[in-house]
Amino acid sequence: MTHDEKPTVAVLGPGGIGGLLAGLLSRAGHRVICLAGDGTAAALRASGIRVRSGLFGDFTAAVETDTELRVPVDVCLVAVKQTALEAALDRVPPAALGDALLVPFLNGVEHPATLRARYREDVVAPAVIRVESTRVAPGEIVHGSPFAEIDLTGDGVAKERLEALADALGSAGPTTRVLPDETAALWAKMSFLAPLALLTTRYALPLGDVRTRHREELTALVEETAAVSRASGAPADPAQALARYDAFPATTRSSMQRDAEAGRPLELDAIGDALLRAAARHGVPVPVATRLVRELRNAGH
Ligand SMILES: NC(=O)c1ccc[n+]([C@@H]2O[C@H](COP(=O)([O-])OP(=O)(O)OC[C@H]3O[C@@H](n4cnc5c(N)ncnc54)[C@H](OP(=O)(O)O)[C@@H]3O)[C@@H](O)[C@H]2O)c1
């Protein structure tokens, strides 16, 4: 891939995130191949991806589809949820991926190791995305947030490859930057997300009620998460995290909470249990996180 060419992009899991990126990249002139199950692949082949976005406009973009990666690509974006990751990766045989970059957009901190166990270490380039985007039907994407920001990382990935991909993504729409420290990038997102997701889902309350009615727990959980982040080698600023929660609209809900309300599987292992595992590895006490994860499990999640 060079700066002059438009990379060919596969998108594994064309949902809220994958569908938005596939639509934007196709609109920008990239060849885009969405990898999905038969039903979703057929729907996308027939009608393309329809994006509704205040930031990027409303548009329909044609994409190719397949149930498995069979053609050479420059990049494969991975945008399934953690609960579907193992099964979905069967659609991307390592030989078909070759030396294409594999760029997961999942929340959490453990999936890069899962990918590196299956694929070449020097092609796994984790991304963090800040956006709110929802797949309302196969190929129908509603991008609700007035922002879409991507941090690209990848310990062991050539910097010029990350820069070229950041150029391509940035030209298609989302503000994209390359960050030098993968652990710091992943934990920055985790430190913000874990307290928000665990508390809003446990109490089935929007952020506004969590930060007033469960303030002590929120503060304790933010401090626990920051301690685990620091022990994992990433900086953390609990006071800043609290200030960010306070600045968000009171009606803010987490995607874990929306999944719980809709009866979908939660990314509890990737966000809650992963936090507990990291804490155990580093000997950091996390009593509030431990109780919240246990209560969510006891509630059937
Ligand atoms: N949505 C957001 O605003 C947002 C923001 C930041 C981070 N994230 C993170 O991004 C990741 C993706 O979330 P999302 O909201 O985009 O999820 P999503 O809307 O549920 O999309 C997931 C997609 O994966 C597909 N899929 C499931 N199993 C598959 C398989 N075996 N093979 C191929 N495709 C499969 C689904 O297909 P069907 O369409 O056929 O069901 C769906 O299109 C999560 O880790 C989430 O935490 C999301």
Q: Which is it for the CA torsion 160, 165, 168, 174, positive or negative?
A: negative
Q: Where are the alpha helices (DSSP H) in the chain?
A: 16-27, 38-47, 85-89, 94-97, 111-118, 159-172, 182-203, 207-213, 215-231, 238-247, 255-261, 268, 274-282, 287-298
What stretch of H or E contains 59?
Answer: strand 59-61
- pLDDT of 5 reads 79
| 88 touches ligand 1 (CB under 6 Å) | yes
Tell me how long the chain is: 301
| 87 touches ligand 1 (CB under 6 Å) | yes
- pLDDT of 4 reads 55
Low-confidence ranges of the chain (pLDDT < 50): 2-3
Closest to 97 measured CA to CA, from 126, 66, 74: 74
Residue 83 CA to ligand 1 center (angstroms) comes to 9
- pLDDT of 143 reads 98
| 40 touches ligand 1 (CB under 6 Å) | yes
Q: Is the separation of the CB atoms in 232 and 183 below 8 Å?
A: yes
| 107 touches ligand 1 (CB under 6 Å) | yes
Q: Is the separation of the CB atoms in 233 and 183 below 8 Å?
A: yes
Helices (H) and strands (E) in the chain, counts: 14, 12
Index of the ligand 1 atom closest to the CA of residue 264: 20
Among 11, 17, 49, 190, which residue has the most ligand 1 atoms within 8 Å of its CB, making it the best to mutate? Answer: 17
Q: What is the residue-wise DSSP string for 181-232?
A: -HHHHHHHHHHHHHHHHHHHHHHT--HHHHHHHTHHHHHHHHHHHHHHHHHT
Among 34, 51, 81, which residue has the most ligand 1 atoms within 8 Å of its CB, making it the best to mutate? Answer: 81
Tell me the pLDDT tens digit for each residue of 79-97: 999 999 999 999 999 999 9
Closest to 15 measured CA to CA, from 37, 28, 102: 37
Index of the ligand 1 atom closest to the CA of residue 91: 32
Residue 3 CA to ligand 1 center (angstroms) comes to 29
